[in-house]
Structure 1
């Protein structure tokens, strides 16, 4: 049993946003990649989906809002921290050593939120969803806060506008007449239906789409997961007790968390609540009509994007002639479409997708094939973000690779060496401090330097503007794992 002491002398109705950022978004390939998934991308406007999720709760009247807590994979930690910084937001970032689905992720968040003797109301949100009507969402959250403060587990069901087969459903029970909130008891959770069953659900008026949004006190979740899945709780508790602070990151025990079973919030707890299992809190569902989408595929993104009079949605450098109901996305180069209907065309620097809008769920098959062939296009973009900046693989051939690199002001790469390649650096913007062996010297615009194979070296931006360089690698092996680090500002040894 976890020994958390709740200060009962204080009524703590603080709402703690908990953003679960573990998905890979394979159906939005080639824009979403395993190591740079959809929640980190600006699919609607300038904000990434994660930034939009953080911003969604700003300014809820009458709600005392805590700084966001984000539970994410280690791979994304620096990008997420940078996105919060760009928003001017503080936050807690809890790192999962391995993916174990949403129930363990929420358990870590609940333990972290409770560690100072607090018992906040957790507002649990996936990082990769879209909500168009923010006011309607905030009104529903305000209602959910009242119910969660009373010890209930609240979920939000999306009012369906079509017989969608890509979502699970929640069957509503009796209306909670004793509360002003438009809330219902939960009769049952049902899996993704076939089209005929989905149509029956919509026609009945008793079913809502399962949104994956929840509210409950941290103590309520801890108690529920202990009762329903003590194995998950025990592993998470052990991992949390072994946590270490790494700058702004909370690192839980890796070996302890690896022992944790994988399960979702729905399977682990919510279905048991709906079934009326004894000693569990009451579960309620609040209907939500707010232009919600999980943006699970290109077709669903088309549905929420602004469209022209012919039903076309575009982003980037796109030209259309005699097209209808088409989504065209340009990541850089001009995309031109002529006389097409119901197509999805997505251009990135290293891949192009053309698909019929009705088949966009099958994009995952392409990603699976890329993984089987060990092709990098399934994992990474050509442009890869690092805590110090980014690099873009401009060209690659036998025994050489050319990269364009940007190093942020004040940032520096690790002190490192390579066993199989040498590097040539040409500064095209800014001023670099280069460490090469025992030497340390400045390299400015239009100057270059050479790093021999097997030599310890470091690159640092000592200027006020971004440092941009062209790096030419040459050698027998050019992969990123040919690196030995000796000192790293970002703890990547």
Structure 2
């Protein structure tokens, strides 16, 4: 058994990209699956951060968590971190997605700049693990091997011949750290091959988690994918730093080739001088890659149904019913997935739930907003929910966090009426500043420069009625915005 007691310096790295299209309509581009509560009472992102905090065992030094996410999701990440106690994190913000190889390269460069050469424990942000004790033990074994220069991947024992995963073939010989030499990788085989792999007992799923020294990753990416290394280094060297965010240079970042950790480096290691090993992870792992997977990890009733929210079932079996906004009732159904949100309902055969991605592709081709946004949209200052709309009007419920402000802005095609229903509002309209209490209202004429702020310590909630011949979100001219939006 790995001791886990050596004095190592460890930096947790959470890769927080991805759009989770197979979990539409709950997961959307602006609010992807890692920020959802799909298992237990914490989001998948919070679970990922919390799991790596279990490595905080003396004499190990656990550095601040490095979270690589995109600019669009930075305030979602901060909001969810604020709900967690005793977690210190730094955010590396990508201006656009370039897959996981550049993301890990950024994290390695930053960790070396801050902490010499720590061991990086790298995990995606959108998975579940049921057995934390075994998970932590597996990571300690991996850390011991990584401290000696190996690249270590975590392999999950397959539960079925799944064609959606990459497979790792390991050697039979186990070393003192309970690691196995990796013989080769296979990307998403066909069903017959996957069945053969399962019978052999020598193959494991690649769960996308790895443990290695920062310097080892940089040497490997420079060797196997020098164009990614060079382009990422240039962007990182021109980064800007503020209290919360590290931003690589956007124009240079655009030039980085997109590639995954596996394709760029990991799968090339077995036939190279880079030693790559595997630790078995037998900890109830699931990547929640489909609604079928969500059903598998969910708590089931006596009819094998998994339900969330306000549901009523009669003669219903083997189904996943997710009520997000309304009462959802089901009668006489079997093996279905029913997902209800405020603006979309998705019904699928459980065995075909992975094809939800095809619906998302159609939404994309039709340029429909439901692919990107929920009806309730989260912003750095709070959220808004479009509760009604029709010809020439739109009604929004708006919540502003204590001390937060919307941008100083104006609209050229609409006027707005605001009614305070909770808290205190500070309103700027042209050169006038007013304070509104509950049940008080104001009018913002078309073309007037205005700003809504919450000067209080409690939540501010208003009802906004927009009127005009165009009510799109792009009818906004910002003059000042503390969140750096255009």
The alignment partner of 1:116 has SS state of: helix
2:204 — aligned with what? 208
1:168 — aligned with what? 166
Whole-angstrom distance in 1 between the partners of 2:39 and 2:385:
24
The yes-or-no answer on 1:46 pairing with 2:41 is yes
* 222-231 or 308-317: bigger deviation: 308-317
The yes-or-no answer on 1:85 pairing with 2:78 is no
The answer to whether the 8 Å contact 2:385/2:397 transfers is: yes
Q: Find 2:184's aligned residue among 188, 191, 194.
A: 188
Q: Map Cα deviations across residues 30-76 of structure 1 (whole Å, 9 max, x no partner).
A: 00001110001111122111001001122334443222111011110
Q: Find 1:66's aligned residue among 38, 63, 66.
A: 63
The yes-or-no answer on 1:270 pairing with 2:263 is no
The answer for unaligned runs of 5 or more in structure 2 is: 1-5
1:301 — aligned with what? 294
- Count of residues in Structure 1 that have an aligned counterpart in Structure 2: 478
How far the C-alpha of 1:320 sits from its partner, in A, is 1.5
The answer to whether the 8 Å contact 2:7/2:61 transfers is: no
How far the C-alpha of 1:454 sits from its partner, in A, is 1.2
1:5 — aligned with what? none
The yes-or-no answer on 1:471 pairing with 2:464 is yes
2:3 — aligned with what? none
How far the C-alpha of 1:174 sits from its partner, in A, is 4.2
Q: Go from structure 1 to structure 2 and tell me whether the alpha carbon gap of 1:117 and 1:307 turns closer, same or farther (over 3 Å shift).
A: closer
Whole-angstrom distance in 2 between the partners of 1:306 and 1:190:
33
2:51 — aligned with what? 56
How far the C-alpha of 1:309 sits from its partner, in A, is 2.3
Q: TM-score, normalised by structure 1?
A: 0.95
How far the C-alpha of 1:317 sits from its partner, in A, is 0.8
1:317 — aligned with what? 310
How far the C-alpha of 1:324 sits from its partner, in A, is 1.5
Whole-angstrom distance in 1 between the partners of 2:159 and 2:328:
32
Whole-angstrom distance in 1 between the partners of 2:9 and 2:445:
56
Whole-angstrom distance in 1 between the partners of 2:485 and 2:325:
32
Whole-angstrom distance in 2 between the partners of 1:201 and 1:308:
33
* 336-345 or 52-61: bigger deviation: 52-61
Whole-angstrom distance in 2 between the partners of 1:23 and 1:295:
13
The yes-or-no answer on 1:426 pairing with 2:422 is no
The answer to whether the 8 Å contact 2:338/2:345 transfers is: yes
The answer to whether the 8 Å contact 2:232/2:253 transfers is: yes
Q: Find 1:104's aligned residue among 98, 102, 105.
A: 102
Q: Find 1:334's aligned residue among 327, 330, 350.
A: 327
Q: Find 1:438's aligned residue among 422, 431, 434.
A: 431
2:244 — aligned with what? 248
Whole-angstrom distance in 2 between the partners of 1:48 and 1:373:
30
1:136 — aligned with what? 134
Whole-angstrom distance in 2 between the partners of 1:465 and 1:134:
37
Q: Find 1:237's aligned residue among 219, 223, 233.
A: 233
The alignment partner of 1:145 has SS state of: helix
Q: Find 1:27's aligned residue among 22, 26, 36.
A: 22
How far the C-alpha of 1:247 sits from its partner, in A, is 3.4
The answer to whether the 8 Å contact 2:145/2:179 transfers is: no
RMSD: 1.3
How far the C-alpha of 1:117 sits from its partner, in A, is 5.2
Whole-angstrom distance in 1 between the partners of 2:233 and 2:278:
28
Whole-angstrom distance in 1 between the partners of 2:461 and 2:201:
58
Q: Map Cα deviations across residues 270-321 of structure 1 (whole Å, 9 max, x no partner).
A: 111122x23xx31000111111111010001111111122211111111212
Q: TM-score, normalised by structure 2?
A: 0.96
1:13 — aligned with what? 8
The answer to whether the 8 Å contact 1:12/1:119 transfers is: no
Whole-angstrom distance in 2 between the partners of 1:70 and 1:167:
24
2:400 — aligned with what? 407
1:285 — aligned with what? 278
The answer for unaligned runs of 5 or more in structure 1 is: 1-10
Q: Find 1:113's aligned residue among 101, 111, 124.
A: 111
The answer to whether the 8 Å contact 2:318/2:336 transfers is: yes
How far the C-alpha of 1:12 sits from its partner, in A, is 7.3
Whole-angstrom distance in 1 between the partners of 2:283 and 2:293:
15
Whole-angstrom distance in 1 between the partners of 2:188 and 2:148:
31
Whole-angstrom distance in 2 between the partners of 1:247 and 1:446:
38
1:4 — aligned with what? none
